[in-house]
Amino acid sequence: MTRTAVIAGAGVLPAAIAAELQAPFVAALEGFAPAGLTPDLTFRLERLAPFLRALADAGVGRVVFAGAVRRPERIDPALIDPATAALLPRLMAAMGQGDDATLREVVAVFEEHGFAVAGATEVVPGLVPGPGVLAGAVTPADERDAARAAAIVAALGAVDVGQGAVVQGGLCLAVEALPGTDAMLAAVAAMGPPRPAPRGGLLWKAPKPGQDRRVDLPAIGPDTLRHAAAAGLAGIAWQAGGVLLLDRAVTVRAAEAAGLFLWARG
Amino acid sequence: MTRTAVIAGAGVLPAAIAAELQAPFVAALEGFAPAGLTPDLTFRLERLAPFLRALADAGVGRVVFAGAVRRPERIDPALIDPATAALLPRLMAAMGQGDDATLREVVAVFEEHGFAVAGATEVVPGLVPGPGVLAGAVTPADERDAARAAAIVAALGAVDVGQGAVVQGGLCLAVEALPGTDAMLAAVAAMGPPRPAPRGGLLWKAPKPGQDRRVDLPAIGPDTLRHAAAAGLAGIAWQAGGVLLLDRAVTVRAAEAAGLFLWARG
């Protein structure tokens, strides 16, 4: 059996995936330290070819990309070795076409070098729950709020803004922007009137329409649950199949204890 | 010359319009006190016909609707006089069809009783500035941020969410939801990283697509300017012709003093 390497970017996802794998090899892009993981190897784009050889030497046969990265701001020509120099032109051309094109080209390079490329959700299917209520109970009012929130987040996604909103009684209390989900929930926790009541409403999460689901899916976990409870929400709902549920057992227990529902809406 | 009556709902707009009129007659719907104005007459729907007579007796020939109202939660049959009883069925039928239908029917009733009905922006054209930079200077980066914010607010308007957003360097820092513009600007004022820099960016305001522009236009005024300055913004931009500028001279002076631009984007 070959080893699986987690090609780790920033955030908690790489550790969540590594925790589910047997003897994972962890490689991190320089400058994007994964939370709670010590990389076996750090790499940079200028040394891509030696990095691919090092993975093979470590017995890696499959790779999974996990966590947030950005395209590098600069390439240092002095660091480029001849084998990488042969790969860089196509990668740099792809970078000029955007994140999706870059990812496709990176995947192609790994595959050409004999690695299988798996999505995080293939490696750990339990990370992305299918449709169903995982904790608590969903009322018709919650169903209406989820439908309204889904329409709002879909409209926002079309203009490449956040992946979340808070809706209560049909009213949009907050919309996720750059500061992210936790900041949005903190604002709701601090909100008095015009909020219709201090308790109620839901957090909705969904990926952007057309987003490549192998990377950068929105995630829910114990921290989200804690912030949602502090904001007085009735629960958290999300697009089933499009959102990662981190620390599932812990998050479900915390939701039950706090009286919040968790709903993967199909 | 006949007098103009301001049929006033809640908020600062009725006072702003009355201030621009010669000897305005101010009538307020009971329960919706205009800010900073003492009504000459308070009316309620059950006494609509006597109210229309009182307006004519006061020499009113033209009316302008200004400020926020909601449909009454209940009609008290004991208060209805016979002449109003003849008008109410059509108004109540319109109320069942929504705010736009109600407004159209109210306008029709006033016109049938001999009053000219004017939009606030007809009565005081200066309240809705045409395209142009009213204070400060707009850079190409500001132009890009305004274009991005306009796309975001248009997408939100299509799902009937707020009329504003804050964008800096192409990044959407905040989106207006139920708590309104001032709450959004307070959140930006309190925001550290991931905001790209503590100063910069703009507030964008625009009406919802398809909104009836005789009522409920978004407004900018001295308070907005103060909050935008506290949030470190470079300026305020809005859809020219679709946003009310209250206290124009005061707001423009405050913008110049604070070094913010004011831009009605055409």
What is the per-residue pLDDT across A106-162, written as a single tens digit (0 to 9) for each?
Answer: 889 999 999 999 887 788 888 888 999 999 999 999 999 999 999 999 998 888 887
Q: Are the Cβ atoms of B156 and A175 closer than 8 angstroms? A: yes
Angstrom distance (rounded) from CA A189 to CA A198 = 9
The answer to whether B68 contacts chain A (CB < 8 Å) is: no
The answer to whether A197 contacts chain B (CB < 8 Å) is: no
Convert the pLDDT of each residue in B93-141 to its tens digit. Answer: 887 666 667 778 888 999 999 999 988 778 888 888 899 999 999 999 9
State the pLDDT confidence band at B214, using cuts at 50, 70 and 90.
low
User: Is the complex ipTM more than 0.95?
Assistant: no
Residue B158 has pLDDT above 80, yes or no: yes
Q: Are the Cβ atoms of B161 and A152 closer than 8 angstroms? A: yes
* Angle CA A192–A164–B224, to nearest 5: 50
The answer to whether B171 contacts chain A (CB < 8 Å) is: yes
Mean pLDDT, residues B61-68: 87
The A residues from 150 to 169 touching B (CB cutoff 8 Å) are 151-152, 155-156, 158-159, 161-162, 165-166
Convert the pLDDT of each residue in B176-213 to its tens digit. Answer: 998 889 999 999 999 988 898 999 999 999 988 766 56
Strands (E), A136-265: 164-168, 171-175, 202-205, 219-220, 235-239, 244-245, 261-265
Residue B122: how many other CB atoms lie within 10 Å? 14
Confidence at residue B204, expressed as pLDDT on a 0 to 100 scale: 98
Angstrom distance (rounded) from CA B103 to CA B86 = 18
For residue A239, give every residue at least 6 positions away whose Cβ sits within 8 Å of its Cβ, in sequence order, or none: A150, A205, A206, A207, A264, A265
The answer to whether B6 contacts chain A (CB < 8 Å) is: no
The A residues from 105 to 144 touching B (CB cutoff 8 Å) are none
* SS3 at position B69: coil
Confidence at residue A224, expressed as pLDDT on a 0 to 100 scale: 96
- Which residues of chain B neighbour A156 with C-beta distances below 8 Å? 152, 155-156, 175
Angstrom distance (rounded) from CA B3 to CA B63 = 9
Confidence at residue A98, expressed as pLDDT on a 0 to 100 scale: 64
Q: Is the pTM of this model over 0.90?
A: no
Regions in chain A scoring below 70 on pLDDT: 1, 70-71, 73, 96-100, 210-216
The answer to whether B190 contacts chain A (CB < 8 Å) is: no
DSSP assignment, residue B131?
S
Mean confidence (pLDDT) of chain B: 89
| pLDDT > 70 fraction of chain B, expressed in percent and rounded | 93
| Pair A13, A246: CB distance under 8 Å | yes
Residue of chain A with shortest Cα separation from B160: A152
B208 is written with which tokens?
A: 């919802």
- A93-to-A69, A87, A98, B132 alpha-carbon distances in Å: 18, 11, 9, 40
Q: Are the Cβ atoms of B155 and A158 closer than 8 angstroms? A: yes
* SS3 at position A97: coil
| CA B87 from centroid of its chain's CA atoms | 28
